[in-house]
A and B are shown apart, each in its own frame.
Chain A
Amino acid sequence: MISKIISEEKTNIIEEVNLASKKEAGDTIQKLDKTATMYTYASTEKGNVKVKLKLSDEKIKKIQEICQLFNNEAGELINVLHQTQHALGYLPAEVQEVIAHSLNVSTAHVYGVVTFYSYFTMIPKGRFPISICTGTACYVRGAEKVLEEFKRQLGIVVGETSADGKFSLSCLRCVGACGLAPVVLVGEKVYGRVSPDGVKAIIEAYKDK
C-alpha cells in the first residue's frame, strides 16, 4: 500500500509496479504505461516506486471545469494551477496532463511552470502544513534552530509529509510579521517568537485533531 507520495528528486526507485487494485486518495493506480512521460513517485512499505495514478472521473471533471473557467486559455495557466492546487491540494503529474490537454499545451510546458514556482507542489501537503519563515529577520533571530527542532521532532525533512499525512514541513520567505520573528505558520495560524523549546507544544496542539 502506498503510504505517501514523494518528490522525484528524492526517489531511489526500487521497482516500477502495477498497483491497479490499490486505492490512494480516491485515485486508482494504473498499470504502468511504459510510454508515459510523467509518473508519480510514491513510497510503499516495500520502498520507493514509480506509479501512474488514475484520477477519478470526478477529479478530471473538476480540473476541466477550472480550465473552462479561464476559457481554456494557455495564458491563464498560472491561474488554473492556483485554482487546481486549491481544489486538490497538490499537482501530481497526472493532474498536469489533464490541464495540458485542456489548455492545448504540452505537458512539459505545464511541468516547467509547476516546477518553476515554489508555491506549486507535486507532493500532497499534510493536513496541518507547517511552514517556518526563513526570511532574513527570522534567520537572524534563530529560525534555523527552530527548523532543526521541527525536523527532529517530526522525523521529516523540508518538503516532506509525515507518514500519517498529518504534518508537512516547508520553509517560506517572509510573511511580513518580522516583529514577531521567528515566525511559524501552521495552516493559516501564525505563531510568533517561537523558540526551539516551544516546538513541542505547537506539534502537541495538533496531535489529537
Chain B
Amino acid sequence: MTKVTSLADLKKMKEVLDAERAKYTKHLHVCGGTGCHAAQSIGLDANLKEILADKGLNQEVQVTMTGCFGFCEKGPIVKVVHDNTFYTEVTPKDARDIVDEHIVKGSKINRLLYTDPVTNEQVSDSQQMGFYKKQHRIALRNCGAINPENIEDSIINDGYLALGKVLTQLDAQQTIDIIKKSGLRGRGGGGFPTGLKWDITSKVTADQKYVVCNADEGDPGAFMDRAILEGDPHSVIEAMAICGYSIGASIGLVYIRAEYPLAITRLKMAINQARELGLLGKNILGKGFDFDIELRYGAGAFVCGEETALIHSMEGLRGEPTFKPPFPSVSGYLGKPTNVNNVETFANIPVIINNGAEWFASIGTEKSKGTKVFALAGKINNVGLIEVPMGITLREIIFEIGGGIKDGKKFKAVQTGGPSGGCLTEKHLDTPIDYDNLVEVGSMMGSGGMIVLDEDDCMVSVAKFYLDFIVEESCGKCTPCRIGNKRLYEILEKITQGKGTMEDMERLKNLSSVIKDTSLCGLGQTSPNPVLSTIQNFKEEYLEHIIDKKCRSGQCKALLHYDIEAELCVGCTACKRCCPVNAITGDKKQPHVINQDICIKCGACEEKCAFDAISIKLEKKIHTEHGND
C-alpha cells in the first residue's frame, strides 16, 4: 500500500475506491459479530462467495463480512443492500437460495424474513422493523455496514476524514471547543463532559502525555464496546488520534479485555493497516503530527474499568484504584497526564467533527446530548445492541424496539447500569432516559447494560446475584467495599433462605448508606444500588420472604417445597427410585410421601412423575415442632 501523505491524497484514494465499489451492482452484508460467529456465519459467508463465483457473479455481487448488526436474537443476519432486504436466522445451507432466488430471480425468500412478534406480519425492510425504526445509529454507524478488517471500507465511509479536517483546518483548542460545544459526555458510565476532560489534560504541561481508550468492558450483559471494536475499529483509532492532537499526546494505549479475542485481532489488524497507510505513525498527513497506538491487555478484573485502577493495571500492578485528586488528566500513566475515554465515547468523535457540534447537540435532551448504545438482554423478544437518542423512554425501548417480553409474560423490572445500577419498574417506564434522570430514580446510565426481568424473577435473588458479583470483583483495598458488601450479601442470603428478620431490612439500608458514603472508588460507592433500588421498588417481596417465608416467583429454593398429591399418586414408585437422597417413602400402589427434612429440592421427582402428582408449593413447609427454620 502506498502511503497517504496529505488530506488531498486521502480524498483521492476515497474517490478511486468509490469508483471501484461502483463496479459492483449488488452487495450482500453478512454479520460477523461474536454472536453470529457462534451461529456459523463464517460458513455462510464462505458458501455465498463460493456459489457466486460458481455462477460467475462475483464481479457483480460483493459479499462483505461486517461487524454486528445488533439484532443478535435473530442471527446470523444477511442484508441484501440494494433493496434493503433483511434476512434473519440464516444458515450456511440457505446461501444457495439467496443467490438463486433473490440475486438471480429477484424474488425475496419469505421463510428467512423477520416476522414481527406483535403484528405477526413479515417485514422485509429493516427500516420498517420495530427493532430499527426508533434507533439512531451514530457510534454504531458503521457496524453492519463495513468490513472491519479492511481499511478501504472505512475510508469509503468517510473514515479518517475528520482527522484530516482537524489536522489541516483546526488547532488543538478549536478541536476541543467543538467537542465541548457538542455536549458529549463520557459513555463509560460516569458521564463526565468529554470536552472538559480534554481541555484539562491539554492545559497541563508535560514532556509526554497519553491517550487511553478504556475497552475493559466488564459489565456482565453489556457488549457495546466489543461490537464497536469488532465492527468499526478505525473510528476508535481515528478518534484517539484526534484526541492526541488536541491534548498534545503522541502515544495512545488501548486497554482491552483479554477475553475479547476477535476484537483484539481486528483492532490489531486495523492499527497495522492505518500504520501502512501512514494514518498512524510519524508526520501524519504531512502535518507534522506523530501518533501511534499500542495495546494493553486486561486480565479479568471489573474494577479496572475505574480509570485509576486501569492505569495501575497498565503499569503491571494490581488494578487497585487510588484516591482522586490527582486526576489522571494531571498525573496518570507513569505519572504523566493521561486522558482516559471509553470506546463508545471515542466512536462519536469523528462524526461530531464531520457534522459539527450543533448537529450533535440537536439530538438528545438538555443535559445529555447525542445517543446511547444499550445492550438489551434478558427476558425480552429482541435481544441485541441498540442505539437510541437520549430522552427516549424505557417503554419505547422495551416494548417497541425490544418487541416486548418473551413468551407473553408480564414485565416486572429492568436493571440498568450493570452491577452498580438499579432496578426500575413499571412506574419508571415513561421516564425519559438520560444521565441525570436515571440517577434521580436510583439507577444510573453505567455502560449501557439493560436487563429485562419478568414475573418469574425474584428481586431479592437478583439483588443477591449482583452483590455476589461485587463481592467477587471488589479489589479489597478499602474496608467498606471489601467487608461491607460481603455482609450485605450474607444478609440477602439469609433472607432468601427464609431466615431473615425485620431488623435485617434496617441493617441492609444502614450498611448500604455507609458503603456508599465511605468507599474509595466508584465501584464501592455504587455497589449497594441494586439492594437499595430493589428495597425501594419491591419492598413487598422482601417482606414476603421475611414474614411469610414465601418467594412468589419460586426462585428461592429454601422457600418452596415439593408435595405429592395423594389423590393423584398411583404408587408407581418412579419418584422413589429416582430420588438421590431417598427422601420419598411409600409402598407400591400406595400414595407416596416426601420427607421434607431430607428433600434437597432437586426437582427430579417432579420430572419423573407421569401423573402430575408432584408439584411445587410456593411456601416453606413447616414440618417440625420447632417452627419454621
Cβ contact within 8 Å between B219 and A174: yes
Which chain B residue shows the least CB distance to A144? B465
Cβ contact within 8 Å between A136 and B378: yes
Cβ contact within 8 Å between B223 and A178: yes
Q: How many A-B residue pairs have CB under 8 A?
A: 125
CA gap between A176 and B226 in the complex, in Å: 8
Instruction: Point out the residues of chain B lying under 8 angstroms from A69, CB to CB.
Output: none
The answer to whether residues A188 and B261 also contact, given A140-B379, A173-B469, A178-B375 and a CB cut-off of 8 A, is yes
Apart from the given pairs A79-B296, A137-B378, A177-B34, 19 other A-B contacts in the complex at a CB distance below 8 Å: A74-B316, A75-B316, A79-B297, A82-B258, A116-B475, A117-B299, A119-B298, A135-B220, A137-B221, A140-B453, A140-B462, A172-B259, A172-B300, A174-B220, A176-B34, A176-B260, A178-B35, A179-B75, A180-B35
Encode contact with B along A158-184: 1 for CB under 8 Å, 0 otherwise.
000000000000001111111111010
Cβ contact within 8 Å between A190 and B313: no
Instruction: Point out the residues of chain B lying under 8 angstroms from A75, CB to CB.
Output: 315-316, 334
Q: Is the interface of B mostly helix, strand, loop or mixed?
A: mixed
Q: How far is the CB of B132 from chain A (nearest CB, A)?
A: 15
The answer to whether residues A174 and B319 also contact, given A140-B379, A180-B72 and a CB cut-off of 8 A, is no
Instruction: Point out the residues of chain A lying under 8 angstroms from B278, CB to CB.
Output: none
Instruction: Point out the residues of chain B lying under 8 angstroms from A76, CB to CB.
Output: 316
Instruction: Point out the residues of chain B lying under 8 angstroms from A198, CB to CB.
Output: none
Is B32 part of the binding interface, using a Cβ–Cβ cutoff of 8 Å? no
CA gap between A119 and B296 in the complex, in Å: 14
Q: How far is the CB of B250 from chain A (nearest CB, A)?
A: 18
**Which residues of B417-462 have CB atoms within 8 Å of chain A's CB atoms?**
418, 449, 451, 453, 457, 462
Instruction: Point out the residues of chain A lying under 8 angstroms from B38, CB to CB.
Output: 177, 180, 183, 190, 192
Is A21 part of the binding interface, using a Cβ–Cβ cutoff of 8 Å? no
**Which residues of B364-408 have CB atoms within 8 Å of chain A's CB atoms?**
375, 377-379, 383-384
Which chain A residue shows the least CB distance to B230? A176
Interface size class of B (residues with CB under 8 A): 35 or more
Cβ contact within 8 Å between B299 and A78: yes
Which chain B residue shows the least CB distance to A189? B38
Identify the A interface with B (CB < 8 A).
73-79, 81-82, 112-113, 116-120, 134-137, 139-141, 172-181, 183, 188, 190, 192
CA gap between A76 and B222 in the complex, in Å: 29
Partner pick for B300 among A119, A135, A178, A188, CB 8 A cutoff = A119
A/B interface sample: 9 pairs, CB < 8 A: A74-B316, A112-B318, A113-B317, A120-B299, A134-B220, A136-B220, A136-B378, A179-B383, A183-B38
Which chain B residue shows the least CB distance to A171? B472
**Which residues of B198-235 have CB atoms within 8 Å of chain A's CB atoms?**
218-223, 226-227
CA gap between A183 and B221 in the complex, in Å: 12
Cβ contact within 8 Å between B318 and A116: yes
**Which residues of B52-96 have CB atoms within 8 Å of chain A's CB atoms?**
71-75
The answer to whether residues A135 and B318 also contact, given A116-B301, A118-B300, A180-B38 and a CB cut-off of 8 A, is no
Cβ contact within 8 Å between B301 and A118: yes
Q: How far is the CB of A78 from chain B (nearest CB, A)?
A: 5
Q: How far is the CB of A54 from chain B (nearest CB, A)?
A: 27
Is B505 part of the binding interface, using a Cβ–Cβ cutoff of 8 Å? no
Cβ contact within 8 Å between A113 and B316: yes
The answer to whether residues A178 and B221 also contact, given A113-B318, A136-B451, A140-B378 and a CB cut-off of 8 A, is yes
